[in-house]
Amino acid sequence: MDRRTFLVGAATGAAVLALSACVGPPRPAPTSTTPMPSPTPGTVPPPNGFIRSNWAADPFSLGSTSYIPAGSSPDAREALAESVSDRLFFAGEATSSDYPGTMNGAQSSGERAAADVLREASEGERIGIIGAGLAGSAAAKALVAAGYEVFVFEGRDRVGGRVDAHGPGDWPLVVDLGPSFVRGVDSSTLTDQLKDDDVVTVPVDATSRVQFTRASDPVPDNAVGRDAVDAAVAWGAAQSRDPDLGDSLAQGSSTSVDVSVDEIGVSPASRVAEYVDRTVVTMLGADAGELSTWYGFDDSAEGEGGDAFVVGSAQQLIVDGLDGADVALSTPVREVSLDDDAVRLKMATGESIRVDRVIVTVPLGVLQSDSITFDPPLPFGHRTAITTLGSGAVEKVWLRYDTPFWTREEAFWSLVVNAPAFTADSTPTPSTTPSETESPMITQWINLMPLTGDAVLIGLVGGSVARAFADLGDDEVRDIALASLQPFLATS
């Protein structure tokens, strides 16, 4: 990318001044906490490196993904993807009907929006793009290649959006606080594009998984959770209105309300809760009481070819896509005004620019916050879509160890904790020292040893638990992570 940016003139001038700027390399490395105190025997040792995401509190994200709540439908994604007066276009994973909530979906939505613009634009037009993430980068690449002058406005001081690379520094790999997986590798060219940037992707074996109780007892895998969800979906499909998944589990699946425990103290309801946490909450960012029974699982459908873990980050792919566009960092757009022959963009700084057409790629949570106003107001279809789609929360905690304290070879770890009979409002309470009747804050973990050979653990939380993270400090989150890993110490 040209190492330049621009300031914006008055509304009538649209003067663009090229100034030196820097898109920049990956951000500073995650924190290192060496030297470390000696751990107490029988406790999880403190990590040598720690970093966490906090997308729910990021004003330029206000969430990490999108989902379909009860009462909404996939039609909302299609409505949001529609252009307005052939001058205002929308992209981003929330507009993707095929791969919502994924890097694939974000990138393909940008390509789709650019194709829509190209069908309407005339030679010599200037195109604006709001947001320099995967969607904005993909749109810019296509428009620049077609010979258009492209201006990209990004509120952050970096490009990437929810692709947020750090390090590597003391870490063995670049840490990305955003998405780490490519879903449906055979349905996307994304893995090939990452390979061109020397970013390796590792196929994931979803069966490389282990489950334990808080007492470190292994929990044999079975189909209780999957069967309960299947029964709940079948029950919900027979209802006259779209119930949320929590209601459907409570009323359509007997195992979801069965709290009788087996010989290791695990109830069917606890197994169902773990399955929902693993396959719904930490993937879609929504609690069961929020997700549509009719349509919610469409967003988690597995693509062709399985998933692949990204060893590093897609940041360079985004930087490459922005090559040839004028990129203004730290320039949030606050107002989009349409008239018959142009679009006026007003920045938070008070400066403005006129372009012929604009693609808005900001996350759904930002659109829902009304931090960008539209004049005239968006059509009812767009406003309805923005209101009825859900902005999900998924957060990641990365822990680096110089030497692993575990010997487990499985890639995916889960804790099966005591859970009450399933209801829509059953939400675990965060605690750094959870009692036996409470859920640890972090119950899903990824072990990078079998994937990359690195002594790194990634904890995942979603839904209301992830939103609770926004109010916690780093030390609190670190303590929660170590307490949540304690059951795996005794099993290693």
**What is the per-residue pLDDT across 421-467, written as a single tens digit (0 to 9) for each?**
876 554 443 434 344 445 447 999 999 999 999 999 999 999 999 99
Query: Which phi and psi angles does 60 have, rounded to 5°?
Result: -100, 5
Sign of CA dihedral 195, 202, 482, 465: positive
Give the DSSP H or E segment for 395.
Answer: strand 394-400
pTM over 0.85, yes/no: yes
| Percent with pLDDT over 90 in the chain | 71
Cα distances from 316 to residues 32, 193, 197, 199, 290, in angstroms, run: 24, 10, 7, 9, 35
Give pLDDT, residue 397: 97
Cα distances from 260 to residues 41, 254, 285, in angstroms, run: 34, 12, 29
Who has greater pLDDT, 59 or 24? 59
Strands 65-67 and 390-392: antiparallel
Give the pLDDT confidence of 171-180 residue by residue, as tens digits. 999 999 998 8
Query: The tokens 């720690």 sit on which residue?
Result: 50
Lowest-pLDDT range, 19-23, 32-36, 443-447?
19-23
Mean pLDDT of the chain: 87
Among 45, 25, 24, 20, CA closest to 35 = 45
Query: Which phi and psi angles does 48 have, rounded to 5°?
Result: -85, -15
Residue 104 pLDDT exceeds 70: yes
Give pLDDT, residue 32: 46
Give pLDDT, residue 205: 83
Lowest-pLDDT range, 14-23, 163-172, 318-327?
14-23
Residue 94 pLDDT exceeds 80: yes
Burial class (CB in 10 A: 0-12, 13-18, 19+), 407: exposed
Strands 16-20 and 4-8: antiparallel
| Percent with pLDDT over 70 in the chain | 86
Who has greater pLDDT, 42 or 484? 484
Neighbours of 437 (CB within 10 A): 9
**Average pLDDT in the 72-86 region?**
97
Rounded distance, CA 254 to CA 277, Å?
A: 18
**Average pLDDT in the 332-361 region?**
96
Q: How confident is the model at residue 17 (pLDDT cuts 50, 70, 90)?
A: very low
Give one word for 464, left, alpha or beta, with left for phi > 0 and alpha for psi -120 to 50: alpha
Neighbours of 39 (CB within 10 A): 13
Rounded distance, CA 421 to CA 146, Å?
A: 57
Who has greater pLDDT, 422 or 103? 103
Rounded distance, CA 380 to CA 24, Å?
A: 40
CB 300 within 8 A of CB 462: no
Give pLDDT, residue 86: 96
Sign of CA dihedral 112, 118, 124, 125: negative
Give the pLDDT confidence of 195-229 residue by residue, as tens digits. 888 888 888 887 889 999 988 999 998 899 999 99
Among 290, 340, 322, 344, CA closest to 63 = 290
Lowest-pLDDT range, 33-42, 114-123, 364-373, 455-464?
33-42
Give pLDDT, residue 187: 73
* DSSP string computed for 102-168: SHHHHHHHHHHHHHHHHHH--TT-EEEEE--SHHHHHHHHHHHHTT-EEEEE-SSSSS-TT--EE--
Who has greater pLDDT, 426 or 107? 107
Lowest-pLDDT range, 34-38, 146-150, 416-420?
34-38
